Copies of this chain bind each other. A is one copy, B any other.
Amino acid sequence: MDLAADKAAGPATGPAATLDDLLTPALVLDGRRLRDNARRMRDRAEALGVALRPHMKTAKSADVARVALAGAKGKGVGGVTVATLSEAEYFLARGFTDITYAVCIVPQKLGRVAALMAKGADLKILTDDASVAKAIAGDRRRFRVLIEIDCGEHRTGVAPDSKAMVEIAEILGSGKNVTLAGVLTHAGHSYSCRTPAAMAKIAEDERAAAVAAAERLRRAGFECPTVSVGSTPTARFASNLDGVTEMRPGVYLLGDLFQAGIGTCGVDDIAASVLASVIAHRRGENALLIDAGGLALSKDRATQALPDDQGYGLVCAALTGTPIPGLKVTSVHQEHGHVAADGPLPFDRLPVGAKVRVLPNHVCMTAAAYDRFHVVDGGGRITAVWDRCHGW
């Protein structure tokens, strides 16, 4: 929705025209930062010689996906990755047909997958389990399946040198309507790295595991067209992706304090923030309260593991999104955030009713509470409102 036409109506009757008009809490997206983040990753994918299939579980927004894929080559609007079938339905309804659902499928969900395929989705599903492969192979409907490979995170996936991997391929191969689309892996353990060198090493493990799996399947007689890797840290620091066909980073589009803490972006690259109002002063305790608490910010404490623990988020000026030195959200209740400061809190600059923006610890969790982004371009004017999907 472009708000230019609505602006004349004013904030009392129409949507908010500026951050000043917007009621809080609300999710703000800096369009310039988003475009810069998107461009940098497209450049990375081009330099590495792989397709970019951004993971949309973070942004859950078709408009963000269009920015991510702007200028991407190939047919249509480009491929995306999703983490729920609800996201797949949302993206298909907005013209995205090439979709990878990157969480292991269970047989009961095949009906919903088939319904998406019948509506025109080229939906790839994922498994690491022989019993699920049997259910897929025994189904009369058509499915495209990736085998999930474990490259060291030990969350889901089979080892590239395992008997199980070839067994799953054989079961899928026995299905008349099944296409083995390839292999997929995710180096989630790259999040525990703290240096570019460590992330580059995990990126190489990720690449090597996926390529080894694909080559072994090919030697066993299976086509394996897709070799998919991806996480923001490994996409950012991989030295090469030889043998890989696509990468699936996601959080890079918005960024957050955890990603800044491990060095995949700067704090001034973080594109998403929560607009909040000061609702109370506690001068005696050098603290103030905002109307963004555990639901509006999430209870994610990812930065607790980093040298700079950012509490529940860094407090910024509302207009510029620039951190106010020393201010962070130190505790949360459901709808209350408690803000404390290193030095004296600037109460006069932040009267009750004043607005701030809070940079999130982990934007995937924080953004999930909101149905829309309010897009700004480095200032206070809202240039667009973009919908988001939610739930399952």
Contacts and interface: CB of A to CB of B under 8 A. Distances in A.
Interface in A252-280: 277-280
A13 B199 CA distance: 47
A298 interface: yes
Contact of A291 (B103, B155, B280, B333): B103
A9 interface: no
Interface size grouping (class) on chain A: 35 or more
Contact of A83 (B24, B132, B335): B335
A281 B392 contact: no
Contact of A289 (B156, B280, B296, B301): B156
Interface stretch (A211-219, A313-321, A363-371): A363-371
Interface in A267-312: 277-282, 285, 289, 291, 294-296, 298-301
Given A131-B352, A299-B301, A335-B103, A23 B369 contact: no
A57 interface: yes
Nearest to A296: B392
A376 B157 CA distance: 34
Contacts of A132: 352-353
B111 A12 contact: yes
A106 B392 CA distance: 34
A189 to B, nearest CB: 11
A277 B108 contact: yes
Interface string A5-46: 000000010000000000111100000000000000000000
Given A155-B336, A369-B368, A23 B353 contact: no
Chain A interface helix/strand/loop/mixed: loop
A336 B156 contact: yes
A279 B85 CA distance: 14
Nearest to A132: B352
Contact of A353 (B131, B281, B390): B131
A117 interface: no
A298 B392 CA distance: 14
A140 interface: no
B84 A335 contact: yes
Interface string A85-124: 1000000000000000001111111011000000000000
A364 B296 CA distance: 13
A154 interface: yes
A338 interface: yes
Contacts of A295: 365, 368
Contacts of A370: 391
B279 A103 contact: yes
Contact of A336 (B103, B336, B391): B103
B391 A155 contact: no
A123 B210 CA distance: 59
A128 interface: yes
A188 interface: yes
A82 to B, nearest CB: 10
A131 B348 CA distance: 12
A188 B333 contact: yes
Contacts of A155: 289, 333, 336, 338
6 contacts: A25-B392, A84-B335, A104-B280, A106-B291, A106-B353, A294-B365
Given A103-B336, A131-B351, 5 more contacts: A23-B108, A83-B334, A104-B289, A129-B352, A156-B289
